[in-house]
Amino acid sequence: MRKNVLLITILAIVFTVFLSGCQVQPTMAPGKTEANKTLNIVTSFYPMYIATINVANNIPGVKVINMTPPMTGCLHDYQLRPDDLKTLSDAQIFVINGAGMEAFMDKVVSQQPNLKIVDATKGIQLIKGHGEEGDNPHVWVSITNAMQQVKNIGLQLAALDPEHAAQYSANTNIYTNKLEVLRVKMHQAIDGAKNRDIITFHEAFPYFAQEFNLRIVSVIEREPGSEPSAAELADTIEIIKKSNIKALFSEPQYSVKAAETIANETGAKMYTLDPAVTGPMEPNGYIKIMESNMEILQKALN
């Protein structure tokens, strides 16, 4: 009797172990691990970050990180840091302005061949740069172009992350509608201005001038951070005196020394016009900057 009980017990244990071994174990989807459930989207600099956080707003599992420090400004001569490469190595998607702004892209592509690139300027007609320069990359300074960049980002993110395509599309529509309201408001404020001639600090405003039918008659510094020569200063002073221009526009990201010199020599008043390359890291940051530009231009051009 005891032998039969023992035998039955052993058989029951063996049967239980056998059944547990036959159960289907849960598996992760191919390529998925606990560590990479989050979709990491990296943006190259401020205007791309603001556009992308609006397009990806409140989408579960999607994280947007800006690669460059908040006060970097334009990326004309930006050199990638080891921290930047580390940030990109943890990302699946890199949102860039394009049009040659990110001169370091060859290095990124060679070191991160699996990184998906979203080009925000795709299909936008570019303005030729000064002299031997390539195309001007400051596309986002035009409200119309900024809207197209947002649409480009939304479409490309939806294609790369189809699970959330509907949310990217809805967010894109919400933000472009806000930008459309801004565009209408700025045209109402600026289109009737008495003066259309302006002098700017560097080559950041051709698209803005094109949008609002302004004429850039001179640029104080062609290259950001490079002081104009004495001859260039003299030429600008002569242009202002002949054309009777009343306003100079410097930028908050750069020294105003040259602009102050010109203002002192000509009596022209100096204002600050912001190309939105830095600013508050919040969804309405770009809109706030452009609204401030609108108020400044209303005063300066009238």
Q: What is the pLDDT of residues 126-140, one digit of tens each?
A: 999 876 678 999 999
Of 146, 162, 186, the domain-final residue: 186
- Rounded CA-CA distance 190/234 in Å is 30
User: Does residue 146 have a pLDDT over 90?
Assistant: yes
Domain assignment present for residue 62? The answer is: yes
pLDDT, position 116: 98
115 and 206 in a single domain? The answer is no
Q: What is the pLDDT of residues 282-299, one digit of tens each?
A: 999 999 999 999 999 999
Domain assignment present for residue 151? The answer is: yes
Mean pLDDT of 161-188: 98
Mean pLDDT of 175-179: 98
147 and 205 in a single domain? The answer is no
Domain assignment present for residue 30? The answer is: no
Domain assignment present for residue 22? The answer is: no
Domain assignment present for residue 10? The answer is: no
Of 139, 159, 186, the domain-final residue: 186
**Cα-to-chain-centroid distance, residue 300:** 28
Mean pLDDT of 226-236: 81
Q: Which is more confident, 192 or 32? A: 192
41 and 164 in a single domain? The answer is yes
164 and 198 in a single domain? The answer is no
The string of DSSP codes covering 27-69 is -PPTT--GGG-SEEEEESSHHHHHHHHHHTTT-TTEEEEE-S-
Domain count for the chain: 2
- Rounded CA-CA distance 268/262 in Å is 8
128 and 204 in a single domain? The answer is no
Domain assignment present for residue 6? The answer is: no
CB neighbour list of residue 29: distance below 8 Å, 6 or more residues apart: none
Q: Which is more confident, 31 or 216? A: 216
Here the CATH number for the domain that contains residue 60 is: 3.40.50.1980
Domain assignment present for residue 252? The answer is: yes
Going by the DSSP 8-state scheme, the letter that residue 271 receives in this structure is E
User: Does residue 24 have a pLDDT over 50?
Assistant: no
Mean pLDDT of 190-209: 90
- Please tell me the least confidently modeled range out of 237-241, 275-279, 283-287: 237-241
**Predicted confidence band at 165 (pLDDT cuts at 50, 70, 90)?**
very high
- Please tell me the least confidently modeled range out of 47-51, 102-106, 230-234, 272-276: 230-234
128 and 51 in a single domain? The answer is yes
pLDDT, position 10: 43
Of 158, 186, 214, the domain-final residue: 186
User: Does residue 8 have a pLDDT over 50?
Assistant: no
CA atoms within 13 A on the CB side of 123: 12
Domain assignment present for residue 154? The answer is: yes
pLDDT, position 231: 85
pLDDT, position 16: 43
**Cα-to-chain-centroid distance, residue 18:** 58
164 and 49 in a single domain? The answer is yes
Tokens 């008495």 belong to 194
44 and 179 in a single domain? The answer is yes
pLDDT, position 257: 80
Q: What is the pLDDT of residues 88-135, one digit of tens each?
A: 999 999 999 999 999 999 999 999 999 999 999 999 999 998 766 789
Question: Helices (H), strands (E): how many in the chain?
Answer: 10, 10
What the block records as the tokens of 211 is 């949008």
56 and 112 in a single domain? The answer is yes
pLDDT, position 14: 39
Scanning 91-229, the segments in alpha helix (DSSP H) are: 105-111, 143-160, 165-190, 206-211
Q: Domain of 50?
A: 36-186
50 and 147 in a single domain? The answer is yes
